[in-house]
Amino acid sequence: MASQNIIDIMTNVGQGFNFSKDKQDPVAFVTALKINGADVAADISVATPDDPDKDMKVVGVCSSVFWTTEVTGEIRFVANVSTKSKNTFKELLLNTLKDSSIELAFEVYEYDTTASPQKYFKSFHTNDASVKASIKKNGGNLDIHIADEAGYEVQQPQNFALTLGVVPEPMAQDLHMAVSDTAKFVKQWGIATD
């Protein structure tokens, strides 16, 4: 994790797609995403870092995750998604999103060298649940972009970088964090309004 109240994690896309027990790089995934009222397919199969003999399906493999840790602060992802998902996002963007509300779940894994035995742990995640958010607005534009060209880090499966900035819906939600396998805590994201 980065310094002073900011989460700014650069993750290894190659390790996310092609997990190796010999590497200890951070990895992250968008595990569920609903946008414009429709689920985006979790159609990429990856190894679960804390149980690498078990596979899971994800929407995207992240190259970076950022959060200021402010209660109403933006969370920003860059995640590599499948060709099918790229086409879904292109269609949404070209037809103008009618609804910027989304639901998403994510998991960031880091390696705990102080644990015995050493292992991956979830360092920033939604605890297997989706959080409600809206796509952040930058001026009059929504903070969402899908690349036209395939990513170069991993050749197969073909994948495309999705950049997505989100802010919380007006409700108190929990984001789970940890600095090791045993030092875990919860931070609030969003403020409830009446």
Domain range enclosing 175: 7-189
Indicate if the pLDDT at residue 93 is higher than 90: no
User: For the chain, how many structural domains are there in total?
Assistant: 1
Domain assignment present for 18: yes
How distant, in Å, are the alpha carbons of 2, 80, 108 from that of 113? 17, 27, 16
Domain assignment present for 161: yes
Domain assignment present for 37: yes
Domain assignment present for 151: yes
Mean pLDDT over residues 26-50, rounded? 95
- pLDDT for 120-130, tens place per residue? 999 999 999 99
Domain assignment present for 51: yes
Domain assignment present for 2: no
Domain assignment present for 57: yes
Mean pLDDT over residues 62-72, rounded? 95
Predicted pLDDT of residue 3: 40
Single pTM value for the model: 0.93
Residues near 156 by Cβ (< 8 Å), separated by ≥ 6?
none
Domain assignment present for 15: yes
- pLDDT for 113-162, tens place per residue? 999 999 999 999 999 999 999 999 988 888 999 999 999 889 889 999 99
Q: Which residues of 24-33 are buried (b: 16+ CB within 10 A; e: fewer)?
A: bbbbbbbbbb
Predicted pLDDT of residue 4: 58
Contact 107, 130 (CB under 8 A): no
